[in-house]
Amino acid sequence: MVGGTRPRAPVARPPRRLPRGARRAQLVAAATPVVALQGLSDYSLDEVARHAGVTRNLLYHYFPRGRPDLTLAVLEDAGRVLTNGWVTDEAIPLPERIVMNVGRLIDHAMQPSDAWRLYRLARVSTDPEVRGVFDRFVDLVIASISLNHLGTTDPPPLARAALVGFFAFFEAALEEARAAGLPREQALVLLNETLVAAIRASDA
């Protein structure tokens, strides 16, 4: 204290106004764990708003239809989390690329991460918009696998059928592996060998 006066308390300032894109991303991040836990159609918008520290009205400002628009935005973000960074660099030996790519998905599935939970929810959804997002990201992964193994992002019909089947097996196997507490490395070997076998069979 100087000259008998007390130092002034810091003035509380309102939260900084975020750019539109940053605010939208913040709302999606706040919604992601809520939607992953409560489901695509039953989650609470009030809880999302509370997590984000905003009003429910602000959610509608960014997602005019409310839950449907926010759900699609959350699924889009989950799809990017699962598929971004897929390794297709030919300078890296193919076996290493397989380990890196399949390993990333295994890590998501074995936690499971929010992105993986959302992927699983989208797979069983009957909503056409949700299915559209889900199918698009599955197509991205299939195109990336095909590029690595076949040199093209557009696999022939039999190869595509094999890859779609592999994905169904992949999910079921990882759900069982997690439930049984199997080591990650065992799951990785199983899925790597299954993928290679599926590609080989489709190219026979």
Range of the domain at 166: 85-202
Is residue 151 included in any domain, yes or no? yes
- Provide the number of structural domains found in the chain: 2
DSSP state of 151: S
Q: Is residue 99 one of the residues assigned to a domain? A: yes
DSSP classification of residue 19: P
For residue range 76-131, list pLDDT tens digits in order.
999 999 998 899 999 999 999 999 999 999 999 999 999 999 999 999 999 999 99
Residue 77 falls inside a structural domain: no
DSSP class of residue 4 equals: T
CATH code where residue 41 lies:
1.10.10.60
What number is the average pLDDT over the span 50-58?
95
**Residue 96 covered by a domain:** yes
User: Same structural domain for residues 117 and 44?
Assistant: no
Residues 84 and 61 sit within 8 Å (Cβ to Cβ): no
Domain shared by 100 and 171, yes or no: yes
- In this structure, are 135 and 53 located in the same domain? no
Residue 42 shares a structural domain with residue 142 = no
153: amino acid identity, one letter: T
Predicted confidence at residue 16, as pLDDT, reads 59
β-partners of residue 5 are 2
With cut-offs at 50, 70 and 90, classify the pLDDT of residue 12.
very low
Same domain, 67 and 95: no
Do both 132 and 35 map to the same domain?
no
DSSP SS3 for 132: helix
Q: Is residue 42 part of a domain?
A: yes
Query: Is the dihedral angle over the CA atoms 191, 194, 195, 196 positive or is it negative?
Result: positive
Helix (H) or strand (E) holding 139: helix 128-150
Judged on CB neighbours under 10 Å (0-12, 13-18, 19+), 51 is middle
**Residues 18-34: pLDDT tens digits?**
788 999 999 999 999 99
**pTM (2 d.p.):** 0.86
- Closest Cα to residue 101, out of 134, 143, 65? 143
89 and 67 in a single domain? The answer is no
